[in-house]
């Protein structure tokens, strides 16, 4: 009886049977698992006739049990930050898996040594979200400095119109981002000085920023030529790579833009925050794990620093109204929306799909980890 997979008879000549097997194998479409619907980028998947697409059907993070079941026999998978790519997943997938593509810049959810050991290619989506995240860095700096959380709540809750509200010359005042006659110098600091930090700096120059300080990875050398060029381009009085202590002490606005992981866990802790200026603002748009949330809540409550603007929080998305940072009126928190523009998310999804195809068919991937 024919199985429907190979049409040749067992009694066919060996060469004919081999030809039939090769023909069948060449027509097998590689299976790819997509862990979320990719909106306007979906036609890039749906229009391909040379792959079998298995898509998580709901508009929420895919369930682990579903992924472990569907990954069986897959050649590729497109994941997100909430999807752990570890030994459990690879064992469920089996030997066919040859590419993991993540729609994110971060890759802490992927066991990279294991990927290298299994010779599985890994794609990610850097660069395309640089401008969107730099935009939100400036937005959060302004919101935190100008008491946006408390001021907005006053209007939203109807208290602005009530008799108990009384205006005074210094109501809702906060530190100004731009230079003024009484404050002619402004120092911006960056914990990490990659593409997003440099794009953020460029946006801050029109505010009159005069000094820029940053820290770099201990394993990287200072790029003096780049720094000299940036200082000249932006007409800064100084642009320096410094130690973390000096960064904390001198920054008026400090942007956390370093990767996550064990090496950067709680780099911004109580000791770091105590060194900062009482009128300084902390902005974190990188990874929640870099900032000790309890220490930051204490710093805000006890006025070690002025305010904080956060796009990421350790433990997200399980951040409720009882979280210590949510309770702090001078802490502005948004739900990890740094890359959330239509243009950027479409670019990220497109790159993630192209990375997937590159790994599936042995072609170049637009952004492959380990190939930089």
3-state secondary structure 122-165: EECCCCCCHHHHHHHHHHHHHHHHCCHHHHHHHHHCCCCCCCCC
In this predicted structure, what is the pLDDT of residue 220? 86
The string of pLDDT tens digits covering residues 99-112 is 999 999 989 899 99
Tokens of 262: 């064990």
- Residue 130 predicted with pLDDT over 70: yes
Phi, psi of 246 (to 5 degrees): -70, -40
Q: How far apart are CA 176 and CA 48, in angstroms?
A: 53
Q: Is the pLDDT of residue 6 over 70?
A: no
Quickly state the pLDDT bin for 301 (edges 50, 70, 90): very high
Q: What is the DSSP string of 4-36?
A: SS--S-TTS-HHHHHHHHHHHHHHPPPEEEESS
Query: Does the structure show a pLDDT above 60 at 23?
Result: no
Residue 125 CB partners (closer than 8 Å, separation 6+): 102, 103, 104, 105, 347, 348, 351, 352, 355, 367
Using CA atoms, how far apart are residues 276 and 245, in angstroms rounded to an integer? Answer: 9
> Is the distance from CB of 96 to CB of 75 less than 8 angstroms?
yes
pLDDT of residue 167: 86
154-179 pLDDT per residue, tens: 999 999 999 888 889 999 999 999 99
Token pair for 298? 């204490």
Residue with tokens 């299976």: 31
Measured N-to-C along each axis, helices 342-360 and 130-145 cross at an angle, to the nearest 10 degrees, of 140
pLDDT in tens, 282-296: 999 999 999 999 999
Per DSSP, the three-state class of 207 is helix
Class at the top of the CATH hierarchy for domain 14-126+344-360: alpha beta
pLDDT band for 214, please (50, 70, 90 cuts).
Answer: very high
Residue entry with tokens 């195809």: 357
pLDDT per residue as tens digits for the range 132-154: 999 999 999 999 999 998 899 99
Q: Is 336 a catalytic residue?
A: yes
User: How high is the pLDDT of residue 26?
Assistant: 47
Classified as helix, coil or strand, 321 is coil
- Token code pair at residue 260: 């996550």
Helices of type H across the chain: 14-27, 43-46, 64-70, 87-93, 112-118, 130-145, 148-156, 195-204, 224-234, 244-250, 270-274, 293-301, 342-360
The DSSP bridge partners found for residue 338 are none
Q: Alpha carbon of 228 to those of 192, 193, 225, 241, 366: distances in Å?
A: 17, 14, 5, 11, 30
Least confident among 18-22, 206-210, 304-308? 18-22
One of 109, 234, 266, 336 is an active-site residue; which one? 336
Instruction: Give pLDDT, residue 27.
Output: 54
Domains 14-126+344-360 and 130-333 share a fold: yes
The answer on pLDDT for 85 being more than 80 is yes
Provide the pLDDT confidence category of residue 187 given band limits of 50, 70 and 90.
very high
For residue 56, give the nearest of 75, 38, 30 by alpha carbon. 38
Q: What is the second-level CATH architecture of the domain 130-333?
A: 3-Layer(aba) Sandwich (3.40)
Q: Give the pLDDT score at 9.
A: 40
User: In this predicted structure, what is the pLDDT of residue 250?
Assistant: 98
Q: Radius of gyration of the chain from Cα atoms? A: 26
Strand partners for 100:
77, 122
Measured CA to CA, the distance from residue 151 to residue 284 in angstroms comes to 21
Break the chain into its structural domains and give their ranges.
14-126+344-360, 130-333
């Amino acid at each position: 009886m024919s199985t429907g997979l190979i049409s040749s008879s067992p009694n066919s000549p060996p060469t004919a049977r081999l030809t039939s097997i090769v023909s069948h194998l060449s027509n097998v479409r590689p299976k790819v698992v997509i862990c979320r619907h990719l909106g306007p980028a979906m036609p890039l998947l749906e229009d391909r006739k040379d792959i079998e697409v298995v898509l998580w059907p709901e508009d929420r993070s895919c369930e682990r049990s579903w992924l472990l079941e569907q990954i069986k026999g897959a050649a590729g998978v497109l994941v997100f930050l909430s999807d752990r790519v570890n030994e459990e997943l690879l064992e469920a997938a089996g030997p066919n898996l040859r590419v993991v593509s993540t729609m994110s810049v971060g890759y802490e959810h992927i066991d990279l040594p294991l990927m290298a050991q299994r010779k599985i290619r890994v794609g990610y989506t850097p660069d395309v979200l640089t401008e969107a995240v730099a935009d939100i860095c400036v937005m959060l700096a302004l919101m935190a400095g100008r008491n946006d959380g408390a001021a907005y709540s006053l209007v939203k809750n109807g208290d602005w119109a009530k008799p108990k509200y009384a205006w005074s010359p210094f109501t809702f005042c906060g530190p100004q981002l731009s230079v003024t006659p009484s404050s002619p110098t402004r120092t911006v600091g960056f914990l990490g000085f990659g593409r997003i930090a440099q794009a953020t700096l460029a946006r801050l120059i029109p505010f009159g920023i005069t000094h820029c300080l940053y820290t770099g990875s201990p394993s990287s050398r200072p790029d003096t030529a780049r720094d000299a060029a940036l200082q000249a381009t932006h007409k800064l009085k100084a642009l320096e790579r410094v130690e973390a202590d000096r960064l904390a002490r001198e920054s008026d606005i400090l942007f956390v833009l370093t990767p996550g992981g064990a090496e950067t866990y709680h780099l911004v802790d109580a000791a770091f925050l105590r060194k900062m200026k009482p009128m300084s603002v902390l902005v974190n748009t990188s990874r929640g794990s870099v900032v000790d949330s309890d220490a930051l809540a204490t710093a805000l409550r006890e006025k070690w620093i002025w305010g904080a603007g956060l796009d990421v929080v350790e433990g997200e998305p399980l951040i409720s109204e009882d979280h210590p940072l949510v309770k702090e009126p001078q802490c502005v928190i948004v739900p990890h929306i740094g890359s959330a523009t239509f243009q950027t998310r479409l670019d990220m999804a497109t790159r993630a799909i192209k990375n997937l195809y590159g790994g599936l068919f042995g072609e170049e991937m637009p952004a492959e980890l380990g190939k930089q």
